[in-house]
Structure 1
Amino acid sequence: MAVPKVNVKLLEDLEIMGFPHARATRALYYSGNTSLEEAITWMIDHENDTDIDEIPLVDVDIDIIDDSSQSFTITKEMRMKAHNLREQEGKRKRNEDKMMEREREKERIQEGKKLLEAKRIAEENERKRNLSLRKAEKEEEQRARENILKKLEQDKLNRRSILGLPLENQATVTSPAIVINQKKISKPIYTTTKIEHLRECLRSLKREHKGENARIRRAFETLLVYVGNVVKNPNEEKYRKIRLSNPLFQDRVGSLNGGVEFLELCGFERMDDFLYLPSEKVDMELLSSAGSVLNSAITNPFFGLLSI
């Protein structure tokens, strides 16, 4: 396949009149390569062809007329036809440009709607999250009030028991007095006071290191290991003795405000460079409660929100 040969003079005249090279070549070839008027008429008749601006390809063995020496006069009528044709082409292109601009405007409008919808969804999700947080805060506040009421009631019962007074509500679960040889000996009464102190210690630790969630979680998990080891092995001294200068202990617990204090609330005592829990002071009920408080702090995403 090859580009057909056309009259060079006619091709130049058409290009001078403002027609593209490819369109002029195509018009000359399909109009018979005879005259400007025929070529312009062909372009008018085929202005809507999709391939009008493509150079035609023909078999190389087809004999194409190429009379380069022939000269034609460009008449006024030809110029008018060429002018009208260019006007129509310009109008067509302007219409296409307008259509494309309208399509682009539609796309911009659609994108704007999508952005507004995405913003609305994000705001709705934020509103729901805030409602959830407020609900969690109210629930924790309610639990705190209930715990205080229970503590006050338990303390009241403890005082009556220590003084040997009859309990007002026998249905209340308390630690019974031990009777030996008809003599009443008071057993230490365990109250919710220490549990609340343990919980408040963890809240304070979280408040002091706000924004360091990973570090706080690691501290809670380490404290749970220390407490759990004593509960599982209360007679093993190595689990009741912690070196304060131990780099691992310092990194995970000792360097945080409240870490050592929590262990002291569990019964550990400072002895030189150690935290030591004497065997006679191992309170399994207290240690179990400490483990429960730590587990709650680790697993409950709303732990401490009320205080923080």
Structure 2
Amino acid sequence: MAGLSLQCAACKAQFRSVEEAQGHAELTKHADFQESTEPVLNLVCVTCGKPCRTQTEKDLHTKRTLHTEFSDKTAEAAKPIVLESPNVGASTSGNVSEANPARNEWIVAEMVQPEVNKELLAELESMGFATPRATRALHFTGASDIETAVSWIVDHEDDPDIDEMPLVAAETGNTAMQPLLTPEEAKIKAHELRERARKKKQEEESRMEREREKERIRIGKELQEARRKEEQQERERLMIFRKAEKDEERRAREKIRQKLEEDKAERRRKLGLPPEDPKPADSSPAPALAPAPEEEKKPFLPIRPASKAEQMRECLRSLKQAHKEEDANVKRAFQTLLTYIGNVVRAPDEEKFRKIRLTNPSFQERVGRFKGGEHLLELCGFEKDAGGEFLIIPREKVDNILLQTASKELNSAIVNPFFGIL
């Protein structure tokens, strides 16, 4: 069977003509070529039209471009190899390197730069790629677009000869790697690829815009819901504040009423009047009564003893009124007292919570220097020890209900801005 290609004995590369083998020998210094009955593959990419000469070249093209459909036109391009060359007048032996020296003159034929697309070359150079590197990319890919050439440069940037200008035989130029399309077909193909890329870009932009719109709607709903919750919480806080104000106002009115009644009873006592106004006298004369003993002449005062809660409230009110100019420090004292009492409620068995050193600088700075601070703790059950150095509440005297009442009064004094004013 006639030879269909020349095969390099060193790297097993196949070539369609002596000129191609000559270019390979000049680039690689390989000089041993043999005639082969296997044709050079001609696998044409259906998508971009690039011809691939080997299965490895096809795999690399698929990896770079993701094009997987190829048309096998090897049979159409397979022709018997012609070993004669204008510079060679010897016989066509199978092993070229074994022929006489005159037959190997084709090895030193003139080598020139390959012809590539000037516009694409200029565009690659404007992107910062060196001329040899850009020329290699366009030559070895037969690229008709920038993306393929750039991908080739990225994949081969570590090659040792990446910045060397490629050379081909002067007689063949770049015929080995020219695309199998006419200029008109290449233009049509390039136009189709551009349109496809433009449509793909438009679809991607539309998809991204839809995603952005969905994200804007989602964020808007979240902000609206957060604003609604914040307004609801603000309304609840306002209702609690107003309720506390009304409770404080009611307690103030009740206290004023009780004070008026006590003052009225005290005035009647000083004037020697009975606790209540006497009823209208009957028309019949009343029988004479024996004078009452001295101890029975004391008038009865209808004054009920103040409860613990009222005593605590009065203590806190007096403390705040006595230090009107130190509102922030008074509030800090109330919070410190609330902490002491809360610790006892939460852990009544902890002795460290039931014992307060009166000489402690922190206690004196926050509570002790205010008149009424120690008194409130005593109302809660704390007692001074024998040396007067500590306030201690025995475990058996811990009254959770009393301590919770004190916590409630302290909390009211802290949150109510009108506490102690009325």
TM-score normalized with structure 2 length: 0.40
List alignment gaps of at least 5 residues for structure 2. Answer: 1-39, 52-59, 76-174, 279-291, 346-355, 381-386, 390-400
2 CA distance for matches of 1:296 and 1:185? 36
2 CA distance for matches of 1:223 and 1:166? 48
> Which residue of the partner structure matches residue 65 of structure 1?
none
1:181 shift after superposition:
6.4
> Which residue of the partner structure matches residue 116 of structure 1?
224
2 CA distance for matches of 1:77 and 1:104? 40
Alignment equivalent of 2:194, drawn from 80, 86, 89: 86
Contact 2:336 2:366 (8 Å CA) reproduced? yes
Deviation larger for 151-160 or 243-252: 243-252
> Which residue of the partner structure matches residue 181 of structure 2?
74
> Which residue of the partner structure matches residue 407 of structure 2?
298
1:73 shift after superposition:
3.3
SS in 2 for 1:119: helix
Alignment equivalent of 2:338, drawn from 213, 217, 225: 217
Residues 98-119 of structure 1: CA deviation (Å, up to 9, x unaligned): 1222221221222122113212
Contact 1:244 1:254 (8 Å CA) reproduced? yes
> Which residue of the partner structure matches residue 57 of structure 1?
none
> One-letter code of the match for 2:405?
S
Evaluate the alpha carbon distance shift between residue 247 and residue 87 of structure 1 in structure 2; reply closer, same or farther with a 3 A threshold.
closer
1:72 shift after superposition:
5.7
> One-letter code of the match for 2:297?
K
1 CA distance for matches of 2:342 and 2:195? 82
> Which residue of the partner structure matches residue 69 of structure 2?
27
Contact 1:221 1:298 (8 Å CA) reproduced? yes
1 CA distance for matches of 2:254 and 2:317? 15
Give RMSD over aligned pairs: 5.0
1 CA distance for matches of 2:370 and 2:176? 101
Overall identity of the aligned pairs, in %: 37
Q: Which has the larger radius of gyration?
A: 2
Residues 247-290 of structure 1: CA deviation (Å, up to 9, x unaligned): 79647742445414658999xxxxxx959xxxxxxxxxxxxxxx
Evaluate the alpha carbon distance shift between residue 108 and residue 15 of structure 1 in structure 2; reply closer, same or farther with a 3 A threshold.
farther
Evaluate the alpha carbon distance shift between residue 137 and residue 243 of structure 1 in structure 2; reply closer, same or farther with a 3 A threshold.
same
2 CA distance for matches of 1:213 and 1:181? 49
> Which residue of the partner structure matches residue 251 of structure 2?
143
Evaluate the alpha carbon distance shift between residue 24 and residue 140 of structure 1 in structure 2; reply closer, same or farther with a 3 A threshold.
closer
1:97 shift after superposition:
1.9
Deviation larger for 185-194 or 251-260: 185-194
The answer to whether 1:127 aligns with 2:235 is yes
2 CA distance for matches of 1:214 and 1:8? 90
2 CA distance for matches of 1:132 and 1:15? 79
Q: How do 1:175-254 and structure 2 match up within 5 A?
A: 183-185=296-298, 195=311, 197-201=314-318, 203-204=320-321, 207=327, 208-210=329-331, 214-218=335-339, 245=359, 250=364, 253-254=367-368
1:140 shift after superposition:
1.0
Contact 2:268 2:275 (8 Å CA) reproduced? yes
Q: Relative contact order, CA 8 A, sep 6+: which one is greater?
A: 1
Evaluate the alpha carbon distance shift between residue 155 and residue 126 of structure 1 in structure 2; reply closer, same or farther with a 3 A threshold.
same
SS in 2 for 1:210: helix
Contact 2:319 2:371 (8 Å CA) reproduced? no
Residues 155-193 of structure 1: CA deviation (Å, up to 9, x unaligned): 3123324544222279xxxxxxxx966543468966659
List alignment gaps of at least 5 residues for structure 1. Answer: 1-5, 36-67, 171-178, 225-241, 267-272, 276-290
Contact 1:217 1:298 (8 Å CA) reproduced? yes
2 CA distance for matches of 1:108 and 1:131? 35
Residues 202-260 of structure 1: CA deviation (Å, up to 9, x unaligned): 55589443256641313567999xxxxxxxxxxxxxxxxx9954679647742445414
1:138 shift after superposition:
2.0
Evaluate the alpha carbon distance shift between residue 83 and residue 138 of structure 1 in structure 2; reply closer, same or farther with a 3 A threshold.
same
> One-letter code of the match for 1:299?
K
Q: How do 1:97-116 and structure 2 match up within 5 A?
A: 97-116=205-224
TM-score normalized with structure 1 length: 0.52
1 CA distance for matches of 2:61 and 2:74? 17
Q: How many residues align?
A: 221
